[in-house]
Chain A
Amino acid sequence: MQSTAHAFKDNVEHALVDDNLQQSLALLKVGFSERRRQAVERLPEFEALRDRARDIKNHALAHLDFYLETFEAKVLALGGHVHWAPTAEDARHIILDICREAGARTVAKSKSMIAEEIALNNHLEAAGIEPVETDLGEYIIQLRREPPSHIIAPAVHLTKDQVADTFLEHHRKLGFDKRLSERGDLVAEARQVLRRRFQEADVGITGANFLVAETGSSMLVTNEGNADLSNTLPRVHIVLASIEKVIPTLEDAATLLRVLARSATGQEWSSYTTFNTGPRRPGDPDGPAQYHVVLLDNGRSGVLGTQMQDMLRCIRCGACMNHCPVYGAVGGHAYGWVYPGPIGAVLTPQLIGVEEAGNLPNASTFCGRCESVCPVRIPLPKLMRHWREREFERHLTPASIRQGLAMWAFLACRPALYRRVTGIANRVLALFGRVAGRYGWLPLAGGWTRYRDFPAPQRGGTFHAQWRARGGARR
């Protein structure tokens, strides 16, 4: 997918005045995060499970080569195929070759963020193969030719009325010519349309939530059951997974599953959690004749062993974005590429470069909610700070910010001067802002005050001045 991450600030301007988007985001703030809170309350072991989940992923990453080889050997022994893809382009070629070999005309796809990352749909379409997204949210945005705006709820930015219009426009030619107004009817119509598409599909492509080295299983977690139809009905099943998805054992999977659904949607367990292991066995009445796993690196191996390795623990639950004030204000599209929210602010510069995506790690209030809810305890604010430092080191930061920081650094290294200057600034600001208690505009801070008011200082002087006045200890 073509990135617009460099245009983050313009994207935000549009997002803030998009009424439909703001209406949808208002629902998000109460929905997912409240349900997560309730689910966590119901499970006293939750915090201990988070620690264990973090440790399992760290252990898997430290032995990644071993577990990938073990997984591969298991799949091969069952008659499955494993393909290694160092780059996105390699993965696209591998998948296209499998589809061509199978004589595929349509492909049933179950939502996969990795497929978005490698822009698989465009590539298949260009080759004359029709990819059909089968997750309801992903199907809606495919019809609208939009990218997903959330990693587990791709159409979360749309209202019911927008979905109804989209269905009428696209389903009319299939004989559905009534504009629907009930949610249940919209879901039922999509079920009918997509059931036919499942039956036509020659190939099913799914992602994987986890790969289990012990058994060679690929695991899928959904609520709709679309991944299961995608891996059961077509003749060929292709699993597209990035290398950091591999974990050691089934028991380790159980621990990760216990934190995944609760963090994502606040469910105790997702409706469908499925283990697929190799192709159809002799005597099996259904299931795919061919089973392929494509293991994608796309830069991840280079993150191992660096300060940024923690990001590879991510299990893509979306809790960080559900709890992020920035995501909650601007939605997912503003981030401009595949992964939005705090994890996107950390992954995107890694995957497509800090030059393109430097804005994203700056779009944070550093409130820390993302880290406090992350099921595998990724220190997201720390990682964002790391990218800000990289950006600064590479002289990608705008001159005005660099000069401002230099001025602040000059003052901060000279405590006496710092206290005098902040004392004066405090009095001057207080003089002009006391009545309203805030400023709608400030010199040198137009970028800030354009979108929000700056609070006026309260009476009593700076913190330093008050500390001294109250007899605080000095060193």
Chain B
Amino acid sequence: MSARDQVLGAIRRSLKRGALSGEARAAVEAHLREHPVNIVPARTAGTHEDRVRLLEQWAAFNHATTARVVAADVPGAVSDYLASNNLPARVVMAPDPALDHYDWNSRPMLERRRGLPEDADRVTVTGALAGVAETGTLVFASGPEHPTSLNLLPETHVVVLREADVVGPLEEVFTRLRARYGEGVMPRTVNTVTGPSRTGDVEQQLELGAHGPRRLHILIVRD
């Protein structure tokens, strides 16, 4: 008997039944197909502006920083953020066509490279699939336009989040993922990131920048 049959057989013996069939099977298949929403926190209700404010509030709570900008000011906001944190004006950017909407040439001193991060890269600029107001969380989906390592390796991550991509609860992210990739289909990696990397492993005291970014800055772009 295969190891698989051994484990599944042991489970069925304990549950005192054979493989699911008939109505019982149809019921769990329907649950997977319909994926009903369970309990959504009331704090995510409200207007879109309420949600953007909620996102700002929870992002700050989780040690991220935010700024609201118009599209024309995105390159300037990136440069200014780097300058105010004494960071070099050099970034590695996701090869995401959505980032081409901004006029990067308006800041010729900002050195840009598209692609994977290297050891020397200190700052990443990426877009985001969504921002979750409920907890101030950013959602990144892997793909040719967004390498996962951009979210992890450099010390500083600047995220350009369109205001229209702010959603209330996490469940709305799943709706967007299903709309983009199909029912039951996910990209290789979906990172949900809430504030910078941190650890409490030394005397339970918070330290930022354990393995991932030490700083997370969110530019919320007005539509």
Contact = CB atoms under 8 A, between A and B. Distances in A.
A188 B189 CA distance: 27
Contacts of B196: 271
Given A86-B3, A214-B32, A306-B14, A155 B211 contact: no
A82 to B, nearest CB: 8
B147 to A, nearest CB: 4
A284 B143 contact: yes
A137 interface: yes
Contact of B188 (A32, A86, A159, A276): A276
Contact of A268 (B14, B58, B171, B198): B58
B143 A283 contact: yes
Interface stretch (B33-41, B66-74, B76-84, B102-110): B33-41
A43 B41 contact: yes
Interface in A213-239: 213-217, 223-226, 228-229, 231-233
B50 interface: no
B199 A187 contact: yes
A250 B203 contact: no
Nearest to B16: A305
Interface in B169-222: 169-171, 174, 177, 184-205, 207, 209-213
Interface residues of B, number: 78
Interface string A257-292: 110000001011111111111111101111100000
Interface string A82-122: 01111000100000000000000000000000000000000
A302 interface: yes
* Residue among A52, A213, A305 with the highest chain B CB neighbour number at 10 A: A305
B14 A136 contact: no
B97 interface: no
A196 B200 CA distance: 22
Contacts of A125: none
A267 B16 CA distance: 40
B25 interface: yes
A175 interface: no
B65 interface: no
Interface stretch (A23-31, A408-416, A443-451): A23-31
A251 interface: yes
A231 B148 CA distance: 10
Interface string A49-61: 1001000100000
B127 to A, nearest CB: 15
A297 B184 contact: no
A224 B7 contact: no
A44 interface: yes
A376 interface: no
Given A45-B41, A194-B211, A229-B152, A280 B188 contact: yes
Q: Is the interface of B mostly helix, strand, loop or mixed?
A: loop
Nearest to A190: B210
A275 B190 CA distance: 5
A285 B210 contact: no
B190 to A, nearest CB: 4
B201 A155 contact: yes
Contact of B39 (A27, A48, A229, A268): A48
Given A84-B6, A191-B209, A301-B14, A251 B202 contact: no
A interface residue count range (under 10 / 10 to 19 / 20 to 34 / 35 or more): 35 or more
Nearest to A30: B204
Nearest to B132: A269
Contacts of B36: 251
A184 interface: yes
Contacts of B46: none
A268 B62 contact: yes
B88 interface: no
A223 B14 contact: no
A258 B41 contact: yes
Interface in A148-168: 153-156, 159-160, 163
Contact of B148 (A27, A32, A186, A287): A287
A248 interface: yes
A65 B8 contact: yes
B204 A32 contact: yes
Contacts of A251: 35-38, 171, 174
Contact of B191 (A69, A159, A265, A274): A274
Contacts of A74: 184
A66 B28 contact: yes
B85 to A, nearest CB: 17
A445 B103 CA distance: 81
Interface in A303-349: 303-306
B116 interface: yes
A475 B23 CA distance: 53
Contacts of A134: 211
B31 interface: yes
B164 interface: no
B11 A279 contact: no
Contacts of A184: 207
26 contacts: A27-B203, A45-B39, A65-B20, A68-B11, A84-B7, A90-B3, A136-B210, A153-B204, A156-B204, A163-B202, A187-B199, A187-B210, A217-B190, A224-B210, A228-B211, A232-B189, A243-B7, A249-B32, A250-B177, A270-B194, A281-B143, A281-B188, A283-B144, A295-B7, A297-B7, A301-B10
Given A90-B3, A272-B191, A286-B149, 6 more contacts: A153-B200, A226-B211, A248-B28, A254-B174, A278-B188, A287-B189
Interface of B: 2-4, 6-8, 10-16, 19-20, 25, 28, 31-32, 35-39, 41-43, 58, 61-62, 95, 115-116, 135-137, 142-144, 147-149, 151-153, 169-171, 174, 177, 184-205, 207, 209-213
